[in-house]
């Protein structure tokens, strides 16, 4: 009985998709569904997934630009810092860091303001600034990670809701099963799954791109912090 109903639904679904929903043109050629139609068929779950995708793109663009901007480095910066320290021009080195205004410069600036104290204290101060800089760059990135894991589950939720609607309508129809009555639930079941996976994959890829850029910047900060500590240990001219 169930198998015959499923076969009937499959046949009627093909006819409905080809005819009622306008996927077949008059000459027998296929016409494509628009994205708007798919979103409407997906119901409120698709609207929520669309909102999550916009949030993901907004955060990604903002963080990507911020990380790229803060990753820039003047190749002669550390050389100028080294020369100023060796020549005793600490104030000049501090002004140089303030003009540069990058995470690397702020890292070195903290070390310069601690000159005269034990090296361990200077190193600890630099590490604290580095951790703060990384935390600022990671702002809202956790949101993308959350969306990457939540979006597929929302899609599956839409699938469950759609199938519940479909089988409820089937039970209410009795022997007079109308595929048009069931199509709304079936559409929602299929479309929300695809939508959730698309948003989840997009968010996952964007999250990993940002994480990779931050890890590269962290490595650069650690390298420059090490260079600065080496400068302090070098004998002055």
Contact in structure between 13 and 186 (CB atoms under 8 Å): yes
Residue 24 lies in a domain: no
C-alpha to C-alpha distance for 187 and 181, rounded to whole angstroms: 11
Residue 210 lies in a domain: yes
DSSP 8-state assignment for residue 94: H
C-alpha to C-alpha distance for 167 and 173, rounded to whole angstroms: 10
Tens digit of pLDDT per residue, the chain (237 long)?
A: 333 433 343 344 444 444 444 444 444 433 355 666 666 666 788 889 989 999 999 999 999 999 998 888 888 888 888 888 888 888 888 888 888 878 888 988 888 888 888 888 888 888 898 889 888 888 889 999 999 999 999 988 888 887 887 777 777 766 666 666 666 667 667 888 888 999 999 999 999 999 999 999 999 998 888 888 888 876 555
Residue 25 lies in a domain: no
Residue 114 lies in a domain: yes
Question: What's the confidence (pLDDT) of residue 26?
Answer: 42
0.85 surpassed by pTM: no
- The half-sphere exposure of 86 on its side-chain side, counting CA atoms within 13 A, is 14
Question: What's the confidence (pLDDT) of residue 209?
Answer: 95
Contact in structure between 131 and 103 (CB atoms under 8 Å): no
Question: What's the confidence (pLDDT) of residue 7?
Answer: 34
Residue 120 lies in a domain: yes
Residue 84 lies in a domain: yes
Question: What's the confidence (pLDDT) of residue 87?
Answer: 83
Question: What's the confidence (pLDDT) of residue 24?
Answer: 41
* Total number of domains constituting the chain: 1
Domain extent at residue 209: 38-176+189-237
Question: What's the confidence (pLDDT) of residue 214?
Answer: 93
Residue 9 lies in a domain: no
For 6, 32, 156, the CA distances from 44, given in Å and listed in that order, are 27, 22, 13
Residue 3 lies in a domain: no
3-state secondary structure of 233: helix
């Amino acid at each position: 009985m169930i198998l015959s109903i499923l076969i009937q639904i499959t046949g009627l679904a093909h006819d409905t998709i080809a005819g009622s929903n306008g996927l077949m043109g008059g000459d027998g050629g296929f016409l494509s569904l628009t994205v708007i139609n798919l979103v409407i068929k997906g119901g409120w779950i698709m609207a929520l997934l669309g909102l999550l995708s916009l949030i993901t793109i907004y955060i990604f663009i903002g963080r990507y630009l911020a990380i790229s901007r803060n990753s820039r480095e003047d190749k002669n910066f550390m050389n100028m810092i080294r020369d100023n320290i060796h020549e005793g021009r600490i104030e000049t080195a501090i002004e140089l860091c303030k003009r540069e205004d990058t995470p690397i410069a702020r890292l070195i600036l903290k070390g310069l303001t601690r000159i005269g104290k034990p090296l361990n204290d200077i190193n600890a101060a630099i590490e604290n600034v580095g951790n703060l800089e990384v935390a600022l760059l990671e702002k809202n990135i956790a949101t993308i990670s959350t969306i990457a894991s939540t979006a597929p589950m929302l899609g599956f939720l839409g699938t469950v809701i759609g199938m519940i609607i479909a089988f409820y309508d089937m039970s209410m129809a009795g022997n007079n099963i109308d595929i048009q009555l069931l199509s709304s639930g079936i559409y929602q079941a299929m479309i929300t799954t695809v939508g959730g996976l698309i948003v989840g994959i997009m968010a996952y890829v964007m999250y990993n791109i940002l994480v990779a850029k931050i890890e590269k910047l962290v490595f650069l900060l650690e390298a420059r912090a090490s260079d600065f500590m080496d400068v302090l240990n070098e004998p002055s001219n």
